[in-house]
Amino acid sequence: MAENMIYVLNGPNLNLLGTREPAIYGSDTLDDIAGRLEDRASALGLEVDVRQSNHEGHLVDWLHEAQAEGAKAVLLNAGAYTHTSIALHDAIKAIRTPVIEVHLSNPHTREEFRHLSYVGQAAKGTIAGFGALSYLLALEAAAAL
Q: CB of residue 23 vs ligand DQA: minimum separation in angstroms?
A: 12
- The yes-or-no answer on residue 135 being catalytic is no
- The yes-or-no answer on residue 25 being catalytic is yes
Query: Footprint of ligand DQA on residues 11-70 (CB under 6 A)?
Result: 13
Active site residue: 7, 25, 81, 118, which one?
A: 25
Please report whether residue 98 would count as binding ligand DQA according to CB under 6 A: no
Asked if residues 48 and 6 have their Cβ atoms less than 8 Å apart, the reply is yes
Angle between the N-to-C axes of helices 30-43 and 133-144, in degrees from 0 to 180, rounded to the nearest 10: 30
Q: Which residues share a beta bridge with 5?
A: 47
Tell me the C-alpha distance between 135 and 140, whole Å.
9
**Cα dihedral sign, 25-9-99-60:** positive
Q: CB of residue 70 vs ligand DQA: minimum separation in angstroms?
A: 27
Please report whether residue 126 would count as binding ligand DQA according to CB under 6 A: no
Please report whether residue 104 would count as binding ligand DQA according to CB under 6 A: yes
Active site residue: 7, 81, 103, 135, which one?
A: 103
Tell me the C-alpha distance between 99 and 75, whole Å.
6
Catalog residues that contact ligand DQA under the rule CB under 6 A. Answer: 13, 77, 79-80, 82, 103-105, 107, 114
Active site residues: 25, 103
